[in-house]
Structure 1
Amino acid sequence: MLTNPRAERVKAVRALGRRSSRERAGRFVAEGPQAVREVLAFRPETVIELYVDPEVSGRRTDILELADKHDVPVHECSADVMTALADTEHPQGLLAVCRPVDVPLTEALSGQPRLVVVLTNVRDPGNAGTVIRAADAVGADAVLVSDASVDIYNPKVVRSTVGSLWHLPVVRGVPVPDLLEACRAAGLRVLAADGQGEQLLPDTDLQPPHAWVMGNEAWGLEPEVLAACDEVVRVPIYGHAESLNLAMAATVCLYASAEAVSTAAGVERRTP
């Protein structure tokens, strides 16, 4: 059992909270039972090692069985070591060190995609993770994250996806113009989601394949990005709220798209 919070191994894992360390090591951390379960279930080949607090292991036998099935090394550690490893103030006793899972842009847009999300200059980790989660929930084909956006392997982004990071293709580090050009080359209409748009979401034809372009939390989409999009669409506000935040607006747009795309494709929606 690992008991020394100052051990070099512990310091190396903890350092993965910094982007520079993640990029140098080619690794990142997935923290908590849900994230660890999903990466072991969907992308076990990317898991390098698993750290577990023995106080938790008895309640998470399903996760440990998955680790054993895929020959993932498991290290038991004390509560102090888990606290030193984790990014959260109150860790849940499970943490995996993983390899990156992002894919090339050409791969993400292969196979005639119908619904894609583009994040431009999105800086808030919680927003980025929640949009990835929403995209997964509606069955989107991919999420494309620009080079000016938050790192998808930021611990807060990973936690906010609640496992969805391993469920659908995610691209990162590509300039916005290249993302938009690739979407058009893949046959997608490019729709900007912006609170100043003249086109209302309920009046927008969402049946043809399309990509939603989402902007920065504070200033939205830059003028040149808006100009490069086919339509600028806003979510109507019926009450007195000043606006919706990025993740909320993205979720509303994505569910409207999922309904329309399913209807166009003749696909029956899956219900619980």
Structure 2
Amino acid sequence: MSASDRPLLSNARSDRVREVSALGRRSARARSGRFLVEGPQAVRELLRYAGGHTRALYVTAEAGRRHAEILDAAREAEVPTWMCTDEVLSAMADTGSPQGVLAVAEQVDVPLDQALDAVGPRDFAVVLTHVRDPGNAGTVLRGASAFGAAAVLLSAASVDVHHPKVVRSTVGALFHLPVSVGTPVQELLEACRARGIRLLAADGAGEVPLPDADLGGPHAWVLGNEAWGMPADVLAACDVGVSIPIERAESLNLAMAATVCLHASAAASTPGP
């Protein structure tokens, strides 16, 4: 059944609207195994890279006219699609000013072993330990995709990767590469070491400046908490601490530091002439 064959969703208090809206809460996501994907770009990437995870699409009339290719992609993927009023979409969305396109998807994280399988001899990954800010986590994921990281691994102590703000901050990058969540930090680091993946702690007090760091072979950037950095036991479990030389600033925020490190790894992994 196409969107045109379904009745327009116009009751912002309906059971369906309440069920979708509830996915903004972690408890509802954990119970259902589903999450919200908001905005045309994120939904476009969901359909392109993880279409099989898409369970429903909701679009306003104006957004449908502006983003007809999204409706076409949903139709091709046989995703159930409903047209809805602006009021209904606003009631379902997590943002105050939604862009008229919203999808419900099955959660996309994968087991740790599967994510590590993606890290080849010339690849690099990202490990987030105790990262709690959704915007930071999402921005790191976006950078990981942009610079060609093989996988992103979030420890059990980190933010829920399916949090609406994380998903929005990735702008669809969440669907571009394997993401594993929920493994205790030390177990996660040990799993990397067992695969021969060197652990580079991005640390302001790191003994090796980034320009001098050995970025050859499989490695992972280990990033700590935004406020209190990296615990001593995590630093001790890493192979080396790497610092970013900076001027006229005391430090870089997490997402900015991650971007600099990932760019360096991408440059090092590019074959020479």
User: TM-score, normalized by length of structure 2?
Assistant: 0.95
Residue 169 of structure 2 is matched in structure 1 by: 160
Q: Distance in 2 between matches of 1:243 and 1:9?
A: 46
Number of residues of Structure 1 aligned to a counterpart in Structure 2: 264
The code of the aligned residue for 2:148 comes to G
Gapped regions of structure 2 (runs ≥ 5)? 1-7
Report the Cα offset of residue 159 of structure 1.
Answer: 0.5
* 1:7 corresponds to 2:40: no
Give the aligned residue type for 2:263.
Y
Distance 2:170 2:63 in 1: 22
Superposed displacement of residue 111, structure 1? 5.0
Residue identity over aligned pairs, in percent, reads 60
Cα deviation code 1:74-99 (max 9, x no counterpart)? 11111111110111110000000000
**Residues 119 and 125 in structure 2, CA contact (< 8 A), matched pair in contact too:** no
Amino acid at match of 1:72: V
One-letter amino acid of the structure 1 residue matched with residue 96 of structure 2 = E
Cα distance in 1 for partners of 2:148, 2:207 equals 27
Moved over 6 A (4+): none
Asked if structure 1 preserves the Cα contact closer than 8 Å seen for 2:207 and 2:240, the reply is no
Pick from 175, 196, 201 the counterpart of residue 210 of structure 2. Answer: 201
Q: List per-residue Cα deviations over 1:13-36 (Å, max 9, x = no partner).
A: 100001110010110000000010
Alignment-derived partner of residue 141 in structure 1: 150
Equivalence for 1:243:
251
Q: Quote how far apart the aligned CAs of 1:135 are.
A: 0.6
> Partners in 1 of 2:233 and 2:192 — Cα distance?
16
Q: Any conservation in 1 of the 2:147–2:262 contact (CA below 8 Å)?
A: yes
Is 2:261 the counterpart of 1:260?
no
1:23 corresponds to: 30
User: Which residue is 1:71 aligned to?
Assistant: 78
Matched-pair contact (CA < 8 Å) for 1:209–1:261: no
The one-letter code matched in structure 2 to 1:132 is L
Amino acid at match of 1:23: A
Shift of 1:208: 2.2
Query: Are residue 221 (structure 1) and residue 230 (structure 2) matched?
Result: yes
Structure 1 residues 113-128: aligned runs within 5 Å: 113=120, 114-128=123-137
SS at structure 1 position matched to 2:165: helix
Amino acid at match of 1:46: H
**Helix, strand or coil for the counterpart of 2:250?**
coil
Partner-residue secondary structure (3-state), 1:148: coil
Name whichever of 106-115 and 21-30 sits farther off: 106-115
* Partner Cα separation in structure 1 for residue 63 and residue 265 of structure 2: 40
Specify every segment of 5 or more residues in structure 1 that has no aligned partner in the other structure, as ranges.
none
TM-score (norm 1): 0.95
Structure 2 counterpart of 1:249, one-letter code = A
Aligned counterparts of 2:269 and 2:199: Cα–Cα separation in 1: 15
Distance 1:205 1:199 in 2: 9
User: Deviations 1:113-156 (Å, cap 9, x if unpaired)?
Assistant: 32010000000001000101111111111000011100000000
